[in-house]
Amino acid sequence: MAKSPARAAQSDPQIPNRERPAEPQRYEASKEELLDFYKQMLLIRRFEEKAGQLYGLGLIGGFCHLYIGQEAVAVGLQSALEVGKDSVITGYRDHGHMLAYGIDPKVIMAELTGRAAGISKGKGGSMHMFSTEHKFYGGHGIVGAQVSLGAGLAFKHKYADDGGVCMAYFGDGAANQGQVYEAFNMAELWKLPIIFVIENNQYAMGTSVNRASSEDQLYKRGESFRIPGIQVDGMDVLACRGAAEEALAWVRGGKGPIILEMKTYRYRGHSMSDPAKYRSRDEVQAVRDKSDPIEAVKRELEALGVTEAELKPLEQEIRKVVGEAADFAENAPEPETGELYTEVLVETY
Ligand SMILES: Cc1ncc(C[n+]2csc(CCOP(=O)(O)OP(=O)(O)O)c2C)c(N)n1
Ligand SMILES: [Mg+2]
């Protein structure tokens, strides 16, 4: 006799009993750690503002996607990683992730202006930056491609048994790409050490997540692959760090991949050439007023007794670092013309 649909729909009895990660706790940072998070987020914000200015002056060519508004995600998550052991991969909105990993702002800015001293020798630009020394594997322009590449990096960690974990970032728009699900399947099947980080900044170019996604609770996207997911306040750096701790415990414990959906928001347009007609100024302003990640940490620092006068020198120091990076990026020489065909594939294989 054929099974009734209701019976057939009964799922594998193992599923309800599946182990789940614990509910992440907000990270309890010391005053020094909180100051450090503040500095890192402010560095990203000021760096990105400066990059926007240089773009306006015609010093940056090609695409340029700013990370303003999303700073708490990269800073909170990557503060829990071990540089040089764990690997990181992301899309084209990559400057913040590099800065959060302690990579020199000068070589990032010089890459934006296409100079030989840039981290990709001036040939990658905003979207294609790498630091193999940091195990930072880009910087990718093809939406979703970094997710499968990230699964490959995680496979390498497992194969070499080096204890590393891959953190693979992608956007809410990328979360609808087919290759993401192929990567999910393999990652869970092979219990790869990977944290899939969905940076849900609410928009993919001009399309809001609700308009593009039949399931807009993106942390659930791994369910049919048995990959657990956690939704995180991506505007709260301590919530981000707390989630990273839980995710790392899960993945380093050999339990396979995990998904973190970071609820965040980008203040600027998709790229520098976005007229932003798809949302109102009021919407952006409301998020800035209510949930700015940097202002939130500032308030916490003040509650811990840190005064405005103590923060001022930090802010000045960051302005100086960013100013020096911009000067360097403006004055460093361009690559020699003889470099045009080096490190690019010109033969067949
Ligand atoms: C395969 C592919 N399709 C389309 C594009 C064009 N494109 C570039 S960015 C983007 C939106 C992606 O949005 P999301 O994943 O939410 O990332 P965000 O820009 O918000 O960080 C699209 C459609 C592309 N680069 N690659
Ligand atoms: Mg997005």
State both tokens at 141: 């322009």
CA atoms within 13 A on the CB side of 343: 9
Beta carbon of 269 within 6 Å of any ligand 1 atom? no
Beta carbon of 173 within 6 Å of any ligand 1 atom? yes
Confidence (pLDDT) at 15: 52
Q: Rounded to two decimals, what is the model's pTM? A: 0.95
Task: Show Cβ contacts of residue 198 under 8 Å, excluding neighbours closer than 6 positions.
Answer: 170, 171, 172, 174, 175, 218, 219, 221, 259, 260, 261, 262
Beta carbon of 203 within 6 Å of any ligand 1 atom? yes
Ligand 1: atom nearest CA of 145 is 1
User: Ligand 1, residues 67, 92, 143, 272: which to mutate, most atoms within 8 A of Cβ?
Assistant: 143
pLDDT classification of 10: cutoffs 50, 70, 90: very low
Ligand 1: atom nearest CA of 174 is 15
For 253-279, the DSSP string reads TT---EEEEEE---SS-SSTT---TTS
State both tokens at 14: 């193992």
Ligand 1: atom nearest CA of 93 is 21
Taking the CA atoms of residue 288, residue 292, residue 298 and residue 299 in that order, the dihedral angle to the nearest 10 degrees is 80
- Report which protein residue has its CA nearest ligand 1's atom 3: 143
For 40-79, the DSSP string reads HHHHHHHHHHHHHHHHHTT-S-S-----TT-HHHHHHHHT
pLDDT in tens, 78-137: 999 999 999 999 999 999 999 999 999 999 999 999 999 999 999 999 999 999 999 999
pLDDT in tens, 268-284: 999 998 988 999 999 99
Task: Show Cβ contacts of residue 69 under 8 Å, excluding neighbours closer than 6 positions.
Answer: 201, 264, 265, 266, 267, 268, 287, 288, 292, 293
List domains and CATH numbers for the chain.
Answer: 27-210+232-325 (3.40.50.970)
State both tokens at 148: 């499968």
